[in-house]
């Protein structure tokens, strides 16, 4: 029995389409089949963009560039029970967006028939869904490597919304929260010494960005100078040692810390905001120095989780979500003892 519909859409990799064209046979999975014609799918899009985006995203194979995936409008009667079809079953190609259409037309046979590209706002919604799926998987995998709990939903939603702005290179809107400025801040002012203290001083920078939009007056910050006076003390030992010493210094100089903490406070973050930022900044810096190897921060993680598991989970979730599997995949596989690496878990 063949598939009984007016038209269907099949999502496949461009490389797979090349084999279909060359060898006249292709086998797909039910996951890659969209049970709508393109005109029907556009009607769904007009009434509910989110529904249309979800329908398409679920059918797409993994891809990095939009021209690597092709949507084919196919005659369903020519798809067999075991989901095989031939080249003549394909009626037209549906590009994911205009850029994909241009690239496909330059790479494939110039006589192929194309539909109009998927509308740009629909493609952006599809891409956002796919990015969230991949990044969430990365973040949860990082937590799993260290047996840490998943942060609460408000924090996860906050990370998702904030990272979306970075993905689409959107400007930070007025009144944005601390995590927006944390992720936007990606430089090291020359006034900041290296070592554990760097993470603490960058927290001041995030606060200044949130209030003034720049860090031009970092040197004038009383807290910056307080930390600078204690640079040798703070740079001794682990990240946990550093933060505990910072808390002691803060308690003795609360007037220099109180305003920063109030500036950075967020209703979505039920945790020590200063510690969260310190851990994220420090972890990200260390991993970038070590080819994104999670083992480079494992000592600090195992030490910190005995005392500050909530903040640690939030910081690592943020690290995993922001850096994503593209950067972290090998490190995650090794720490999770993937059989293909031949690594056995110690008892």
Q: Report pLDDT digits (tens) over 194-206.
A: 999 999 999 999 9
Q: Which residues form the domain of 207?
A: 132-341
227 and 335 belong to one structural domain: yes
Given the structure tokens 């640079």, which residue do they identify? 231
Let me know if residue 347 belongs to a domain.
no
pLDDT band of 114, cuts 50, 70, 90? very high
Domain boundary (67, 87, 118) is at 118
* Residue 296, pLDDT score: 96
Of 74, 95, 118, which closes a domain? 118
Number of domains in the chain: 2
What's the pLDDT at 1? 35
Confidence of residue 2 (pLDDT cuts 50, 70, 90): very low
Residue 291 lies in a domain: yes
- State whether 179 and 112 are in the same domain: no
* Residue 65 forms part of a structural domain: yes
pTM confidence score: 0.92
Q: Are residues 61 and 145 in the same domain?
A: no
- Is 114 in the same domain as 228? no
Provide the pLDDT confidence category of residue 169 given band limits of 50, 70 and 90: confident
Return d(Cα 15, Cα 68) in angstroms, integer: 8
The answer to whether residue 125 sits within a structural domain is no
In a domain, 61, yes or no: yes
Please identify, among 89, 118, 147, the residue that sits at the C-terminal boundary of a domain.
118
pLDDT at 193 (0 to 100): 94
* Same domain for 136 and 33: no
């Amino acid at each position: 029995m063949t598939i009984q519909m007016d038209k269907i859409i099949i999502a496949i990799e461009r490389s797979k389409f090349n084999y279909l064209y060359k060898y006249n046979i292709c086998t797909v999975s039910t996951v890659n089949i969209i049970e709508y014609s393109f005109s029907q799918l556009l009607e769904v899009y007009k009434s509910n963009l989110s529904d249309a985006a979800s329908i398409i995203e679920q059918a797409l194979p993994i891809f990095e560039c939009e021209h690597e995936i092709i949507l084919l409008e196919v005659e369903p009667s020519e798809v067999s029970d075991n989901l095989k079809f031939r080249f003549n079953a394909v009626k037209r190609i549906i590009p994911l967006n205009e850029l994909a259409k241009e690239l496909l037309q330059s790479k494939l046979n110039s006589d192929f028939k194309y539909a109009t590209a998927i509308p740009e706002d629909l493609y952006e919604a599809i891409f956002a869904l796919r990015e969230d799926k991949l990044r969430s998987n990365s973040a949860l995998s990082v937590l799993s490597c260290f047996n840490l709990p998943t942060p609460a939903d408000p924090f996860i939603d906050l990370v998702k919304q904030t990272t979306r702005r970075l993905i689409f290179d959107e400007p930070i809107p007025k009144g944005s929260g601390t995590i927006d400025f944390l992720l936007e801040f990606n430089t090291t002012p020359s006034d900041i010494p290296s070592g554990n203290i760097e993470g603490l001083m960058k927290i001041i920078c995030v606060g200044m960005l949130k209030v003034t939009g720049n860090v031009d007056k970092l040197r004038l910050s009383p807290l910056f100078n307080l930390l600078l006076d204690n640079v040798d003390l703070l740079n001794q030992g682990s990240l946990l040692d550093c933060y505990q010493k910072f808390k002691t210094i803060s308690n003795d100089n609360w007037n220099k810390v109180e305003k920063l903490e109030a500036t950075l406070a967020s209703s979505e973050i039920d945790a020590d905001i200063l510690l969260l930022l310190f851990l994220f900044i420090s972890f990200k810096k260390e991993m970038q120095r070590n080819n994104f190897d999670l083992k480079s921060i494992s000592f600090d993680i195992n030490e910190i989780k005995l005392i500050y598991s909530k903040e640690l989970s939030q910081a690592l979730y943020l690290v995993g979500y922001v850096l994503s599997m593209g950067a972290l995949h090998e490190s995650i596989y090794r720490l999770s003892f993937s059989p293909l690496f031949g690594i056995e878990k110690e008892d």
